[in-house]
């Protein structure tokens, strides 16, 4: 049997996983962007790393306001969020050179939303062959780089 080493996971295993309040509002209101993995802030939204990524570089664009549906976005917030999606694509292309992207929102628990009350747009970089036998035979997803290393690359490319 081969072993899969992921020593950075110990911090997650030993942590208190339940955060009080909204994780996105907590990140927005934090003074420590690196601790909360906030990569970029704008007038109406911010970009944050997903701490449970599907792939290396999985980020999210989140409105600063705590809202549960895109139908509650003001026109200037809609435009800002979509501009941040485009900026994020450019940054990810520069920093980690993916071959494609999955971009979208999960609205409601039935749709797979892990955080239902604060909308966010997922941007997941993809590479040919990134979906392989590991999730099927061992229920394990291999992430090729630590989240902190990816954070540093993306933060620099965003100009931070």
User: Mean pLDDT throughout 123-142?
Assistant: 63
Per mean pLDDT, which range of 26-30, 75-79, 119-123, 131-135 is the poorest? 131-135
Q: What is the pLDDT of residue 15?
A: 63
The pLDDT, as a whole number, for residue 9 is 61
For the stretch 99-130, pLDDT in tens is: 999 999 998 888 877 788 999 999 999 988 66
Is 13:124 a contact under the CB 8 Å cutoff?
A: no
CA 123 from chain center: how many Å? Answer: 7
What does the alpha-carbon distance between residue 123 and residue 63 come to, in Å, rounded to a whole number? 14
Among 114, 132, 151, 125, which residue's Cα sits nearest to residue 55?
Answer: 125
pTM of the predicted model as reported, rounded to 2 decimal places? 0.81
The predicted structure's pLDDT at residue 136: 43
Residue whose pair of structure tokens reads 């061992």 in the numeric block:
138
Model confidence pLDDT, tens digit, residues 44-102: 999 999 988 888 899 999 999 999 999 999 999 999 999 999 999 999 999 999 999 99
- Checking if the pLDDT of 149 tops 50, the result is yes
* 146 vs 120, residue with greater confidence: 120
- DSSP helix/strand/coil, 150: helix
Which residue segments constitute the domains of the chain, with CATH numbers given?
21-158 (3.30.428.10)
- For 60, 75, 123, 155, the CA distances from 72, given in Å and listed in that order, are 18, 9, 21, 29
- Look at residue 115 in the predicted model and tell me its pLDDT: 85
- In terms of pLDDT, which residue wins out, 124 or 15? 124
Indicate which residues carry an active-site annotation.
Answer: 120
DSSP state of 129: T
């Amino acid at each position: 049997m081969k072993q899969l080493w992921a020593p950075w996971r110990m911090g997650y295993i030993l942590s208190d996983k339940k955060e009080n309040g909204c994780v996105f509002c907590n990140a927005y209101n934090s003074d420590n962007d690196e601790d909360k993995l906030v990569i970029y802030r704008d007038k109406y939204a911010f970009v944050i790393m997903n701490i449970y990524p599907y792939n290396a570089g999985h980020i999210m664009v989140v409105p600063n306001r705590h809202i549960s549906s895109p139908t509650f976005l003001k026109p200037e917030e809609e435009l800002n969020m979509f501009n941040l999606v485009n900026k994020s694509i450019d940054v990810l292309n520069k920093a980690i050179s993916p071959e494609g992207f999955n971009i979208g929102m999960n609205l409601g628990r039935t749709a797979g939303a892990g955080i239902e009350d604060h909308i966010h747009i997922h941007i997941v970089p993809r590479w040919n062959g990134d979906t392989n036998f590991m999730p099927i035979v061992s229920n394990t997803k291999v992430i090729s780089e630590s989240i902190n290393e990816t954070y540093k690359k993306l933060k620099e490319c965003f100009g931070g």
